Amino acid sequence: MLTTTVAGSLPKPVWLAEPEKLWPAWRLSGPELAAGKLDATVLAIKLQEDAGIDVVTDGEQARQHFVHGFLESVDGIDFGRRVEVGIRNDRYKAMVPTVTGALRLKGRVHGGEARHARAHTARKLRFTLPGPMTIVDTIADAHYGNRVTLAMAFAALLNEEARALQADGVDVIQFDEPAFNVYMDAVRDWGIEALHRAADGLSCTTAVHICYGYGIKANIDWKASLGGEWRQYEAIFPALAASRIHQVSVECRNSRVPMRLLSLLAGKDVVMGAIDVADNAVESPEAVAAVITEALRYVPKEHLIIGTNCGMAPMRGDVAYAKLRALSAGAALARAAVAAF
Ligand code: ZN
């Protein structure tokens, strides 16, 4: 009850990549980089275990970025043909690569780090992949000519990798869909269908993570424009509640999401973000427990899992792990309170 996990990414060691960057440059290359990524994966797992996290991740230590870490393993994308596009409905501009031919996986995407992570922890392992809608929103297309067709093509590749991750011993496969909070109509029209395609045939636990983004300036400015109550979840939770995905990972701590919206996810496991990833102030265990207590008004305790608002990749390492310790301590306080009640 009230188990703990993290949304996905964690800071990389300073010897592996530039700290506090969303797109960090690697500090190693060639075989040294490959070995360093695996070493960092074990380190991230050890630090999560020491912080008391129940369901650990690889910390996304082997990827430079949560979307492009996947795209690098896909044939049919021209990384030399970069186009400037407005991402997440023009929230920020980015130079993105272009789809120029039929998409195909070059081979395994995350097999190395997934098997290495599995070999070095007895705890349940959560593994993240970018969701089809978020990928489509982070790339240019000169081949498929249609966002839905392109999303389904990516979903098929994600499914191929997800099935292989399951065979590697991963317990939870999570698709990251921050774009779901931006294109709410499309979520209902084809976003859920694309997720189902990506999760097709999996027997492990499946999850979708939908947040308001990493703690970078463009996202903080966007949040400031959303008004006193953030109601994006209200438009998409009913469709997610009716979906075949088991868990929904959401942002709650320091957010203006009305907590009562969580009741729209009836029947699902809710991974509630109880840690703010856009603020270096480390939460107290009592503050974490208070968010959990409020969520318990809307989510049955058997369905509530405690996590972070989003990935922590661009944060300072010492801050991120202090926050994970607060997360565990706060969950323990909440468990004790529920047991005593
Ligand atoms: Zn997120």
pLDDT in tens, 33-78: 999 999 999 999 999 999 999 999 999 999 998 898 899 999 999 9
Q: Please, how many CA atoms are within 13 Å of residue 237, restricted to the half-sphere of its CB?
A: 22
DSSP state of 299: S
| Distance, CA of 231 to CA of 217 (rounded, Å) | 21
Distance 128 CA to ligand 1 centre (A): 11
**Model-level pTM?**
0.96
Distance 40 CA to ligand 1 centre (A): 21
CA of 104 to the centre of ligand 1 (A): 26
Q: For residue range 219-238, what is the model confidence (pLDDT) as tens digits?
A: 888 888 888 898 889 999 99
Placement of tokens 């407005």 in the chain: 86
- The answer to whether the CB of 52 falls within 8 A of the CB of 4 is yes
Gap from CA of 212 to ligand 1 centroid (Å): 6
Tokens for 318, please give them: 């010492």
Centre of ligand 1 to C-alpha 227, Å, is 20
pLDDT attached to residue 176: 97
Sorted by where each starts, the structural domains of the chain and their CATH numbers stand as: 30-340 (3.20.20.210)
